[in-house]
Amino acid sequence: MIPRFRSTPALAATLALAALPLGACSTTTYNTYGAEPAGASQAASQAPQPKRAKNVILFIGDGMGVSTVTAARIYAGQKLGKLGEEHVLPFETFDNVALVKTYNTNAQVADSAGTATAMHSGEKTKIGVVGVSSKVTRGDCASGLANPLPLLGEQVKERGMGLGIVSTARITHATPASVYARSADRNWEADFSIPEDQRGKGCEDIASQLVNSEWDLALGGGAGAFFGTELDGGRLDPQENLTAEWAARTGGSVVSTAAEMAAAPMDKPLLGLFSGSHMTYMAEKTAEKGASEPTLTEMTSTAIARLKDDPQGYYLMVESGRIDHGHHAGKAGLALEEAVEFANAIQYAIDNTNPDETLILVTADHSHVFTISGYPRRGNDILGLVVPPSDGGSEVAEATLAKDGQPYTTLGYWNGPGALATDTGEGRPAPQTGVNARQQAAIPTSSETHAGEDVALYAQGPGAERARGVIEQNLIYDIIVKAFGWE
């Protein structure tokens, strides 16, 4: 039997009060139908308008999922002599934070091409394609030409603004390419990489698109895609030199070392190609290897110095591309050293831009299957073996060793090249530790894979208040466009 409410004098009075017009019992601005009461428009017109950003800098930590941020925070703190957990990375001081959903239109776990395209076009697309919509058939030139998306880089230059692109990966790699290029396949970085059956159909390789685009500076690795075989490059014509063609067209400077970058004229466009492929890992630089390459902070400094005086403002994309590559190799130390340098570059931008006119966004394109596990004691070496707290209890102490009696590292991977064969009968060896160690993984794969969980977006400056809640990744484009006041 359904219970019924009986009317009482108190209930009748309550119902009568609820039936009154909202204006009679409340100062609420809008009624239940959303209509504006008298005077609301005047009040709204007197409200302060959101500030517009003159400049926007988007920092993308490729593969910098939340677990990577946490580990990088601890690692950076420990490098400074702290316990580590209490350390704060520069962007963690930003007041505005959102969670970002990274999936591609046809993939639950995304790649950098589809995710970077979402951020630079305002539309999600398929895995493995750059600057083209989800209607495209990957690897089909005609399909790519028929389904272009807007490019933020083009829109910036159409408005007479400055444009900078910086990456520690190849400058033709998926994330930097999303600023200026459209391609039915992210791997078409040079014309040699376009399959024979797709050549001659009107599709331009990504390196060619870069030198034929308008921008103020592009700094990164990947010289091989711009030259013929004389540099063991990726051009079909062994004598081709795209950088020389670009310099002749623009009057710009082409540099290949940090010293040349610093000496280049400030009033001309700048193309910096500092390595044949990706730039050298921070952890692997020596006097013989990568010594002439600039750091990400130095490239960021150069970019800001060259763009800051543009009267129309600028857009700058800075990618730490090798965080991702360290994870793919199953070497957390490589990834974390890159993340620390990424944080240094962000700190430089914070210190050398005006927060009243520059929106700084920090995010990742996707995450990795990278985890922090065990019950290590406070301040335990983040790259070391799990050592429990002295007073953590027996269950914590028991979890310090695996069932095979071997220890394990705090950091590890769900899959990757560090997985161990289980059919040899030799048992699991003790894991390696340190910056250059390869962490053990559960599932053997030739390369560790991306992960599908949300990543964080941190924001500071005009328009930063729009970074809140849980958002689709393509809304980062909207945040940028609205901050500029284009809509």
Dihedral angle at the C-alpha atoms of 453, 350, 484, 63, nearest 10 degrees? -20
Helix (H) and strand (E) counts in the chain: 16, 15
Answer for the pair 152, 120: CB distance below 8 angstroms, yes or no.
yes
Q: Which residue has the tokens 């390696």?
A: 432
User: Catalytic: which of 112, 178, 301, 367?
Assistant: 112
Answer for the pair 304, 363: CB distance below 8 angstroms, yes or no.
no
Q: Encode 73-95 in three state secondary structure.
A: HHHHHHHCCCCCCCCCCHHHHCC
Question: 127, 48, 27, 116: which is closest to 321 by C-alpha?
Answer: 116
First to last CA, the chain: 57
What does 373-410 look like in DSSP terms, one character per residue? -S-PPTT--TTSB----TTS-HHHHHTTB-TTS-B-BS
- 244/223 Cα distance (integer angstroms): 12
Tell me, yes or no, if 112 is annotated catalytic.
yes
Length, in residues, of the chain: 487
Give 142: exposed, middle or buried? Use CB within 10 Å, 0-12, 13-18, 19+.
middle
- 143/140 Cα distance (integer angstroms): 5
The DSSP bridge partners found for residue 183 are 130
Q: For residue 465, how far is the Cα from the chain centroid? A: 19
Q: Which residue has the tokens 């609301």?
A: 40
The DSSP bridge partners found for residue 272 are 219, 255
Q: Which residue has the tokens 């005006």?
A: 354
- 487/476 Cα distance (integer angstroms): 14
Q: For residue 288, how far is the Cα from the chain centroid? A: 30
Rg (CA), the chain: 26
What does 100-124 look like in DSSP terms, one character per residue? EE--BTTBSS--HHHHHHHHHHSS-
- 472/487 Cα distance (integer angstroms): 19
Q: For residue 123, how far is the Cα from the chain centroid? A: 16
Q: Any idea which residues carry the catalytic annotation?
A: 112
